Chain A
Amino acid sequence: MYDPTVARLTYRALLGRRRALILGALPLLLIVIAVAVRALSGADDQTAVNVLGGFALATMVPIIGVIAGTGAIGPEIDDGSVVYLLSKPLKRPVIVFTKLIVAIAVTMVFSAVPTLVAGLILNGNGQRIAVAYTVAALVASIAYAALFLLLGTVSRHAVVFGLVYALVWEALFGSLVSGARTLSVQQWSLAVAHRVAGGDLVTSDVGLPTATVLLVLVTVLATWYAGRKLRGLTLAGEE
């Protein structure tokens, strides 16, 4: 199910210099903010929750997910070079699965690791907040990567749709309509974080069983459908 050559090519495409630049800048900013906040205000659990929940999990993880998820397959479909990959004797689901693994790994490295570091800087893992948000970032990475990889195979405007989901749906509608929060990767991952942290600092609108079922369902369905989509891919010309 995993092809090292495809994986190597995808890593190269994802971590090309400019992409790596933007992927590296976001975690760096998070850590700079964490250091600044700690220096200005000292260790405080509520502040740590604000920074990790409001900035790391709500903004940084989805954007890195969009860049890594759509970037794993989007540009290749866009410039047509995906035909060379598809003409190799590899099953399409294998290609999708390999690219998914790479996208998940990249998202995890660039979002969960800095979240952990920032959490440790902010309050030294008091009340297990740093670990809780790291777990949430890890879980969210998997779902986001699968979701945005699917978008990359479905649409040529995958980045826009991914961002619309991450910014408009999760942030804007999520804060206005509480029902929208049930269908949000962020809330599902927060449910997991809630379980890890134990306290009342990290809260979610979704129960843990629902969240787990939905997370697994979305990931599996998205991957399966992306594989299907790739089997009958038509290469559209430039609009």
Chain B
Amino acid sequence: MAVEQPPAGEQTRIHNIGYRSYDGPRLGRAYARRSLYSQSLRGAWGLGRSAKSKVLPMLLLVVMCVPAAIMVAVTVATKAKDLPVDYTRYAIIMQAVISLYIASQAPQAVSRDLRFKTVPLYFSRPIETADYVRAKYAALSSALFILTAAPLLVLYIGALLAKLDFADQTKGFAEGLVSVALLSLLFAGIGLVIAAVTPRRGFGIAAVIAVLVISYGAVSTLQAIADAQGTTGAIPWIGLFSPITLIDGVQSAFLGATSAAPGGIAPGTAAGIVHVLVVVGLVAAAYGLLLRRYRKVGL
């Protein structure tokens, strides 16, 4: 039995059901970039995410600050003339904690976007590759700066409470802040470049930590051997090959820190300038590599 065909033509009609285009204010590219920055920064501390993902960053922050609080307590109790640890040395001592933080949060910031293929969605907003990279880079650097500057702030407030010399402490605190700002930029760059290559979070963590720890392990082993051999001139130059000794070289050359390298050998002015150039070069290279990485992702 044939299906009865409805007569065409008569009943087709276009209804106007009242769709309207948006004519409110458009917040634009800068707003989108700012939002991405603040969301990434909050994400790096687990805010706005599940309770489980808050545990690790907060725990690391506590671990970072507790030794500073203990040092302050000791200084106040014993009425010492100076803090037991320099502001610039603190981050070097706690480098394992800093490495763990950057290793756990850098993949969190970029790998999940890659894995769930949400990167194209970002670029469907009015932001461009450079905005995404800048927002993520700035967010992770800021998060790292919070982690490294918080214990310095604890030390500084404690030093003032213990009535240590104000001018001396302020100078040390300022030098410490400059050094951890450099450290944050460098570590965030290294972490992001490695994490942006892999969509797998676990692998990203292992890769970041391997680069940071292995390079430090190799460099400090070589430095110890150079120290034992008496070829102390080589020690600052060996330090160029791992991020933390690089920062140590910069701050002991220009920021009045005593070097953490074996024998306490600080780089001279020429070696110090090379250290600064390498830091700047690495940060620029990280930014450039990230731009290249995201130029055609997921499209």
Which A positions have Cβ atoms within 8 angstroms of B? Answer: 18-19, 22, 25-26, 29, 33, 36-37, 40-41, 46-47, 50-51, 54-55, 58-60, 63, 66-67, 70-71, 74-75, 78, 157-160, 163-164, 167-168, 171-172, 238-239
Contact = CB atoms under 8 A, between A and B. Distances in A.
A78 B204 CA distance: 14
B52 A163 contact: no
Contacts of B222: 33, 36-37
Contacts of B225: 37, 40-41, 47, 50-51
B84 interface: no
Given A33-B221, A41-B225, A75-B200, A22 B206 contact: yes
Interface in B58-106: 96-97, 99-100, 103-104
9 contacts: A22-B207, A22-B210, A29-B214, A55-B221, A60-B214, A63-B214, A67-B206, A160-B205, A167-B213
A165 to B, nearest CB: 11
B206 A54 contact: no
Contacts of A158: 202
Contacts of A66: 206
A33 B53 CA distance: 38
B19 to A, nearest CB: 35
Contacts of A18: 197-198, 203, 207
Interface of B: 49-50, 52-53, 56, 96-97, 99-100, 103-104, 116, 197-198, 200-203, 205-207, 209-210, 213-214, 217-218, 220-222, 224-226, 228-229, 231
A40 B198 CA distance: 37
Contacts of B50: 239
Contacts of B197: 18
Given A22-B207, A41-B229, A75 B218 contact: no
A160 B56 contact: yes
Nearest to B107: A159
Contact of A33 (B99, B116, B218): B218
Nearest to B216: A59
Contacts of B53: 239
A163 B205 contact: yes
Nearest to B49: A239
B49 to A, nearest CB: 7
Contacts of A171: 96
B209 to A, nearest CB: 5
A24 B246 CA distance: 25
B56 to A, nearest CB: 7
Given A159-B205, A160-B56, A160-B103, 17 more contacts: A25-B210, A40-B225, A41-B225, A46-B228, A47-B225, A55-B217, A55-B221, A63-B213, A66-B206, A158-B202, A159-B203, A159-B206, A160-B104, A160-B205, A163-B206, A167-B100, A171-B96
Contacts of B224: 50, 54
